[in-house]
Amino acid sequence: MTNCLSKTEIPYGKAPATFRRKELLVGPSTAGSRLDLFLAAQKILPSRSSCAHLIEDAAVCINGTLATSKSEKVVLGDRVSVEIPLPRSDPNGLAPNFSIPLDIRFEDEWLVVLSKQAGLVCHPSPGHVNDTLANALVARFGYDHLGHLQGDDRPGIVHRLDRDTSGLMVAAKDDTTQRALQDLIRLRTLDRRYLTLVWGYVAPDEGTITTGIARSRHDRLKMAVSEDPGAREAITTFRVLERFEAGRRDEGYSLLECHLYTGRTHQIRVHMRYAGHPVIGDPLYGRGNDRTNLGLKRQFLHSWHIAFDHPVTGEAIVEADPLPVDLIDILKKLGARSMGRTAAGDVICPHVLGV
């Protein structure tokens, strides 16, 4: 086998200049493991696939000899030397941001399901350069180990959530998986369900809203229901979970579960406004003041459920995410005004309230 060379002689991928060296000793509990599994167990990188990339990129030596296969077995007493690349920016300046926490609910070598916190922008935009989910993904996985079909400034991003919408979303670690996940969305087999609290009494227990959505002609920051030929079809179904009676200064509230069959910008927010039941706390499409918004400083919109068949393994991926504390507090404020839950609410509410 080839002797282990210096870092100037063995470049790591496309970024040979910045790395840190890690020295590891194989103990009794890991002796006999495959090399990639051994490295993954040391948690030097976030996934087995990223450890395999290190081996492929000539960054791992065993007892001073270059490792050439991820399936090579380590034995008791082996000394494994690893040169771990520091995350780099992409050519367009997308820098890793290590200060943004990632709440990962599912991960394998192809994709990640995570829960995005409210206030976090998904990818760079005016006013948000290095403080986005994309920057956090680069910090966690490395720029070269994320899908780039959405553009070099959107590594890993499969679909977006608005800045102040919280909850579950999917990211991809390579282009092939990213394309497959986007196909699932287009085929409407990636099941995305949201919880929202809206203004007023929604009379039917369930319904479907189907319209075109396009950029508003009056306010370029907004989207709007439109019959323009260029408008894109948008389909949202909803189920009422619980209703709250009217107060002295409001018309009551309804808690809904919305199911997206398409993924247009601001789709649920636009459709609820169109139906006469805008989302509580929505600064763009809502109505009312701090009192009628129940003191909420962002839209009451949370991606609580996501389900799909894994595009590589075929495994059924199903994740649920209870409401965050700020939204639970709003429902607690309304608790005494509840008019009762629907049959759907009896099933869903115990899960989303975390009880």
Structure tokens given for 160? 């977006």
Residues 6+ apart with CB under 8 A from 331: 197, 255, 323, 353
Quote the strand ranges of the chain, DSSP E: 19-25, 60-62, 65-66, 79-85, 103-107, 111-116, 166-172, 191-199, 206-215, 223-225, 232-244, 253-260, 301-309, 316-320, 338-341
Question: Can you tell me the distance from the alpha carbon of 153 to that of 135, in angstroms, rounded to the nearest whole number?
Answer: 9
Burial of 249 (0-12, 13-18, 19+ CB in 10 A): exposed
Q: Which residue has the tokens 């009494």?
A: 201
Q: Please state whether beta strands 338-341 and 65-66 pair in parallel, antiparallel, or not at all (unpaired).
A: unpaired
Tell me, yes or no, if 228 is annotated catalytic. no
* DSSP bridge pairs for 83: 21
First CA to last CA distance, the chain: 58
Q: Of 280, 139, 138, whose CA–CA distance to 196 is shortest?
A: 280
3-state SS assignment for residue 323: coil
**Annotated active-site residue in 162, 164, 250, 321:** 162
DSSP state of 117: P
- Kindly write down the DSSP assignment for every residue of 228-256, as one continuous string: -TTPEEEEEEEEEEEEE---TTS--EEEE
Q: What residues are labeled active site?
A: 162
